[in-house]
Amino acid sequence: MKLAIIVNITREKALELACELTAWLDERSIDYVFDPQSAKALGSDKQEEKTELYRHCDVFVSLGGDGTLLLASHYSQTKPVLGINVGDLGFLTEFSPDEMYTAMNHVLSGNYSIHTRSQLEASFDSGNQPHPMTALNDVIIEKGASSRLPAFVIWLDHEVLGSYRADGIIIATSTGSTAYSMSAGGPIIAPKSNVFVITPICPHMLTVRPIVISDDKTVRISVDSYSGEFPLKMDGVVKKMLHPGEVVCVKKSPQMINLVANEKRSYFEILRKKLLWGHEHPTGE
């Protein structure tokens, strides 16, 4: 087995864990490789380009927060991703640093289970992109530097849903419902729900609200504006600047992401812990 290790190089704790993990792997003669940025930060010559990691590695290990795991998922394709949380919230990175070696032993022995997560795929009506763009969390179109609120025109399949004046529009998976969409007032959606959520960012009208749709729909969005450029982001990374009238098509990707599951933790326990919901039961006394 060969591991691909991706590290949040801005966090000292993540770099320390990477050093500890590689020493542990070396003792057991288990092969591993870093992405170039992680290798440089750690002074290692064991590296491969991110786009080549999935060809030669069996499992991806993410040492960081949810952002680091999202980065790993972009390159893992269908390979399992093990997330060790060195961040803050950590909805996706289910394992704590204290659980790292237990999780690694399960992965190396093949005794682990997988959470499959849906992705979004974005394309353009012009059809001039060489490869589909995918996102595990969300696709976002923002107003950018425009001084006036543009109108975002949205179709579901071939039917117009509406035209919203807003700072932007988020299309999120159930996984991404606890990311930017939640911050913008969108609902929390349980994993594996066969839905997406469309969440407007600071809409001009109070009657505009998030809407949950079936994930077999194709969402088409264009920006109605006289001028300007509008950032299209996939999992927070700007992929393209859209022109007025340019149509983006967003649909469910045929490719799933496979996350190594923490059997000791449920999704609702994560919600209670991360969102401070509490779990006390009233006694009536």
Question: What are the tens digits of pLDDT across the range 148-185?
Answer: 889 999 999 989 999 999 999 999 999 999 999 999 99
Examine the domain organization and report whether 7 and 131 are in the same domain: no
Of 32, 30, 29, 38, nearest to 9 by C-alpha is 38
Examine the domain organization and report whether 239 and 156 are in the same domain: yes
User: Torsion over CA of 279, 88, 38 and 54, rounded to 10 degrees?
Assistant: 40
Does a structural domain hold residue 285? Answer: no
Q: What is the CA radius of gyration of the chain?
A: 20
Examine the domain organization and report whether 23 and 124 are in the same domain: no
Examine the domain organization and report whether 233 and 159 are in the same domain: yes
Of 66, 125, 216, 235, the catalytic one is: 66
Does a structural domain hold residue 145? Answer: yes
Q: Which residue has the tokens 């499992």?
A: 59
Examine the domain organization and report whether 150 and 178 are in the same domain: yes
CATH of the domain at 52: 3.40.50.10330
pLDDT at 103: 96
Question: What are the tens digits of pLDDT across the range 176-225?
Answer: 999 999 999 999 999 889 999 999 999 998 889 999 999 999 999 999 99
Does a structural domain hold residue 283? Answer: no
| Residues 231, 240: Cα–Cα separation, whole Å | 6
Q: pLDDT category, 285, cuts 50, 70, 90? A: very low
Examine the domain organization and report whether 60 and 86 are in the same domain: yes
Examine the domain organization and report whether 9 and 90 are in the same domain: yes
- The edge-to-edge listing of strands for the beta sheet with 230-234 is 211-214, 195-201, 168-172, 138-142, 230-234, 237-242
Q: pLDDT category, 275, cuts 50, 70, 90? A: confident
| Residues 274, 221: Cα–Cα separation, whole Å | 33
More confident call, 124 vs 259: 259
Examine the domain organization and report whether 124 and 9 are in the same domain: no
Question: What are the tens digits of pLDDT across the range 182-193?
Answer: 999 999 999 889
CATH of the domain at 194: 2.60.200.30
Examine the domain organization and report whether 200 and 156 are in the same domain: yes
Q: What residues make up the domain containing 72?
A: 2-117+256-274
Examine the domain organization and report whether 22 and 110 are in the same domain: yes
Q: Which residue has the tokens 């949040």?
A: 8
Does a structural domain hold residue 279? Answer: no
Question: Phi and psi at residue 157, in whole multiples of 5°?
Answer: 55, -115
- Mean pLDDT of all residues in 25-33: 97
C-alpha distance from residue 111 to each of 27, 32, 102, 104, 154 (Å): 21, 19, 11, 10, 45
Number of compact structural domains in the chain? 2
Whole-model pTM: value is 0.89
More confident call, 145 vs 281: 145
HSE at residue 198, side-chain half, CA atoms within 13 A, is 26
Question: What are the tens digits of pLDDT across the range 45-75?
Answer: 999 999 999 999 999 999 999 999 999 999 9
66 is catalytic: yes
Residue 221 near residue 240, CB atoms below 8 Å: no
Does a structural domain hold residue 45? Answer: yes
Residue 234 near residue 220, CB atoms below 8 Å: no
C-alpha distance from residue 26 to each of 3, 152, 167 (Å): 12, 53, 50
Q: Which residue has the tokens 């469309």?
A: 198
Does a structural domain hold residue 239? Answer: yes
pLDDT at 165: 94
Q: Which residues contact 85 (CB under 8 A, 6 or more apart)?
A: 65, 93, 94, 95, 96, 97
Residue 225 near residue 153, CB atoms below 8 Å: no
* H or E element at residue 270: helix 267-274
Does a structural domain hold residue 284? Answer: no
pLDDT at 28: 96
Examine the domain organization and report whether 113 and 124 are in the same domain: no
Examine the domain organization and report whether 191 and 179 are in the same domain: yes
